[in-house]
């Protein structure tokens, strides 16, 4: 990559985060979701571009990789969401490769900074892995030389449930279309998060948490942490199903596991574990879960 020309970036460079500049962009009104903030699938899109930019920065030519029939994705991805983003917010991502005890090939450690106040909105760590675009199966990890230091994000506790249990209702079902996929026809990260976020709404609805509930009670729920594991990348035309269960409840939050499955092959292709925090919409202060939510969640409790 020829990026040696000195460039002037936001002050301080890349918005205060240490690391290599990987992405810079804007979230627009059409990126907002039902909760009126930017839907996490668009943050995932920025993350996807950031990891591609990181590889290009290492001198890996994206066109050569595609010609070799390989797709870049992450078998392991962990995200902390720290601040909301709204329509019109500019942001940037900077990152470094760090050493990892669990991932010998190293992790890309990235931070998204909101330009208007230099607040950290998202912190993520992901492995970089190559997948075969014909089959969607992993080919192997990309070993990345360390470019910085950083502590690993704490894993989200989750039971080792890969196959669905009777307690896990189906909360999403659809066939993948080109808009869900990259140029090779394999599901991209935004597409995967699109399923996850819609399936989360589906799960909330099954637990009685409708938009009316949120409006009437002032109760709020928001994803604050996520862990995503990819086993196989489904492709254009595949039927994808999501099944979901509650894996833990604490004073102001609840944990969920989603299985993303290929409905025809009857296999789990990815999992999402996420932590949803409860808060008061008016003040933003933490709130305990509604009693009706606690009662309903017992029906889909797993692990």
Partner 1 sequence: MAGPVETFRGVVRSEQCDHFGHMNVQFYDGAMSDGFFHLLTLIGLDPATVESRRLGLAAIGMTLNYRRELRVGDLYKVETGFMDLTPGHIVTGHRMTRLTDGKLALTAWSRGVPLDLELRRKTTLPDDIFSRAADFVCAPADLDLDPEVLAA
For partner 1, the binding residues (CB under 8 A) are 1-5, 7-10, 21-26, 28, 45-46, 48-49, 52-53, 56, 61-63, 65-66, 86-90, 92, 115-116, 178-179, 181-183, 188
Distance CA 223, CA 81 (A): 7
- Report the residue number, 139 or 153, with the smaller CB distance to partner 1: 139
Question: CB-wise, 23 or 272, nearer to partner 1?
Answer: 23
* Angstrom distance (rounded) from CA 29 to CA 22: 23
User: Considering beta carbons, is residue 11 or 251 the nearer one to partner 1?
Assistant: 11
Task: Please provide residue 206's backbone torsions phi and psi, each rounded to the nearest 5 degrees.
Answer: -65, -25
| DSSP structure string for 234-261 | -BTT-EEEEEEEEEEE-SSEEEEEEEEE
The residue (of 83 and 252) whose beta carbon lies closer to partner 1 is: 83
User: In a 3-state reduction of DSSP, which class is residue 28?
Assistant: coil
Give the nearest distance from C-beta 151 to partner 1 in angstroms: 26
Q: Residue 91: is it exposed, middle or buried by C-beta count within 10 angstroms (0-12/13-18/19+)? A: buried
CA–centroid distance for 290 within its chain: 26
Minimum Å gap between C-beta 74 and partner 1 is: 15
Q: Shortest distance, CB of residue 57 to partner 1, whole angstroms? A: 8
Phi-psi map region of 208: left, alpha, beta (phi>0 left; psi -120 to 50 alpha):
left
Least gap, CB of 109 to partner 1 (angstroms): 18
Shortest Cβ distance from residue 8 to partner 1 (Å)?
5
Shorter beta-carbon distance to partner 1: residue 235 or 248: 235
Do residues 200 and 274 lie in contact, with contact meaning Cβ atoms separated by under 8 Å?
yes
């Amino acid at each position: 990559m020829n990026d040696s020309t000195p460039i002037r970036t936001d002050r301080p460079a890349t918005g205060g985060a240490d690391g290599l500049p990987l992405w810079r962009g804007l979230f627009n009104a059409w990126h907002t979701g039902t909760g009126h903030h930017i839907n996490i699938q668009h943050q995932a899109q920025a993350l996807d571009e950031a990891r591609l930019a990181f590889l290009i920065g290492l001198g890996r030519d994206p066109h050569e990789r595609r010609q070799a029939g390989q797709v870049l994705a992450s078998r392991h991805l962990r995200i902390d969401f720290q601040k909301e983003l709204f329509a019109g917010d500019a942001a940037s991502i900077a990152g470094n490769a760090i050493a990892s005890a669990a991932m010998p090939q190293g992790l890309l450690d990235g931070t998204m900074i909101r330009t208007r106040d230099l607040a950290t909105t998202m912190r993520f760590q992901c492995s970089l892995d190559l997948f075969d675009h014909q089959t969607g199966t992993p080919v192997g990890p990309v070993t990345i030389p360390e470019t910085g230091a950083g502590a690993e994000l704490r894993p989200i506790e989750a039971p080792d449930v890969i196959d669905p249990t009777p307690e896990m209702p189906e909360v999403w079902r659809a066939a993948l279309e080109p808009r869900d996929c990259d140029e090779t026809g394999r599901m991209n990260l935004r597409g995967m998060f699109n399923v996850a976020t819609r399936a989360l709404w589906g799960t909330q609805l099954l637990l009685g948490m409708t938009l009316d509930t949120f409006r009437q009670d002032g109760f709020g729920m928001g994803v604050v942490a996520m862990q995503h594991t990819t086993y196989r990348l489904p492709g254009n035309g595949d039927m994808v199903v999501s099944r979901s269960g509650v894996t833990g409840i604490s004073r102001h939050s609840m944990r969920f596991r989603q299985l993303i499955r290929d409905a025809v092959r009857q296999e789990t292709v990815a999992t999402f574990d996420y932590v949803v925090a409860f808060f008061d919409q008016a003040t933003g202060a933490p709130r305990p879960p509604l009693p009706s939510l606690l009662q309903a969640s017992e029906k889909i409790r797993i692990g």
